Chains A and B, each alone.
Chain A
Amino acid sequence: MKKPLVGEIGFGTVIDHIPCTATFKVLQLLGPQDDLVVVGNHFSSMKIGKKGIIKIANKILTEKELSKIAVLAPKATVNVINNGKVQQKYKITIPPQFKNVIKCINPNCISNHENSGTLFCVISANPLRVKCNYCEIVIDKEEIQLQ
């Protein structure tokens, strides 16, 4: 299944091993694309049972996009495709901090009142749990809202 998917683009990115429930959320957070996008869901996976795959032509993920994907799909892998071949393959990693990626769910938090940006420290990677640098609220993975 993997080979034809990769083979279809000359240059771009394949995001693999996305949990099925997160596939379309990942697509959504990446926003509208100019070029070919292929999305597949419920492929069999040795690693996570069932998985989603997103392939985007002529696209390299930014640091910020990788941070956001880390929240939704912490076990995903990213393949950078060049000349139709996998040029680079790496696992998504949970960064020690999320800067301007997560929105604080506490309505009384200063970050929701002043244009300070947000900063969350990761206090546990698996399961993901983050703490707001400002109001110190601890948020579990299920409650995390992306900015």
Chain B
Amino acid sequence: MNFKGKDVISIDDFSKSEIIHVLKTAERLEKKAMPNILKGKILGTLFFEPSTRTRLSFESSMKQLGGNTIGFADAHATSVSKGETLHDTIKMIEHYSDAIVIRHPLDGAARLAAEAASVPVINAGDGKNQHPTQTLLDLFTIKKAQGKISNLHVGIVGDLKYGRTVHSLTKALSHFHCKLSFVAPPALRMPVQIIRELEEKNIVYSEHERTEDIISDVDILYCTRIQRERFPDPREYERVKNSYILDVPLLKNVKKNLKILHPLPRVNEVTTAVDRTPYAYYFQQASHGIPVRKAILALVLGGLR
């Protein structure tokens, strides 16, 4: 499989075998440091909106493989704020770097950047659309937690209507014959488009309003934040907000192998008491950003095949 020069824009572009290859490469890089494979390569990190965690994760990954980085953390400091188009910015940066990581507030910006650039472009979040390296690290985490991805029962809880993380994860899991259970208040249910895709692929899924309904059956519980501003009626938020807080008493009858994931940062949807249970796995999940991003960089820059 040859990833060299490939753009990483949307998880929808990845076949199952490509996903597996990225995860295997991440495993290789976790076991063995390869501090020289990207020596002499420069990564441009273009953060048109700030995201410190994602940017540092990419920059650290690049440096751990022997490469270097240039870029900006905030578009206000650049000519972009003077009205330069994204296309023209990319046309300039491509001469300075061997690959580009882009984060942008507009949906589809990464695809446009990839069309403009002659070097590979990696999407680090385009508006509400995609964040494929987050999805790959979520899959990597599930694999590490359960030893496999296929044939698991995965529960996904929280804002399923607007959460790009859960949309991408759902689409990615549909390659692996997982059973999916969605838990959300009625106003924040999974969009019909995604449900329709699952039905077309004959994926077994169910929809619920309470975490209690599924928690004793699932192998993975993926929690996300519910934001007050997503509710058209604030009273509705007040009514449901406590139903989506995961606390220790809820974990009484769960499967032994259950692992709880969360893309972080959390507010209160998973209590700190849960951190001390054997089910908490979100800090390990956060640490997987490095091997997965190293794998992506090594593959698209030709350091590994």
Contacts and interface: CB of A to CB of B under 8 A. Distances in A.
Contacts of B104: 110
Nearest to B130: A136
Contact of A109 (B87, B108, B193): B108
A134 B193 contact: no
B10 A134 contact: no
Given A114-B86, A135-B129, A136-B129, A108 B106 contact: yes
A134 B193 CA distance: 17
Nearest to A106: B107
A115 interface: yes
A133 interface: yes
B41 interface: no
Interface residues of B, number: 20
B292 to A, nearest CB: 21
Contacts, number: 50
B128 interface: yes
B226 to A, nearest CB: 21
B118 interface: no
Interface string B73-113: 00000000000011100000000000000001111110110
A113 B106 CA distance: 9
A73 to B, nearest CB: 25
A85 B230 CA distance: 61
A116 interface: yes
A78 interface: no
B233 interface: no
Given A136-B10, A136-B130, A111 B108 contact: yes
9 contacts: A110-B111, A110-B126, A111-B112, A113-B106, A114-B87, A116-B112, A116-B115, A134-B107, A135-B127
A56 interface: no
A134 B105 CA distance: 13
Interface of B: 10, 12, 85-87, 104-109, 111-112, 115, 126-130, 193
B85 A136 contact: no
B108 A134 contact: yes
A132 interface: yes
B38 to A, nearest CB: 29
Contacts of B193: 138
Contacts of B115: 116
A100 B104 CA distance: 23
Return the 5 tightest CB-CB contacts between A and B, nearest first. Answer: A134-B108, A135-B107, A135-B108, A110-B108, A110-B106
Interface in A127-145: 132-138
A108 B125 CA distance: 14
B49 to A, nearest CB: 12
B109 A110 contact: yes
A23 B273 CA distance: 65
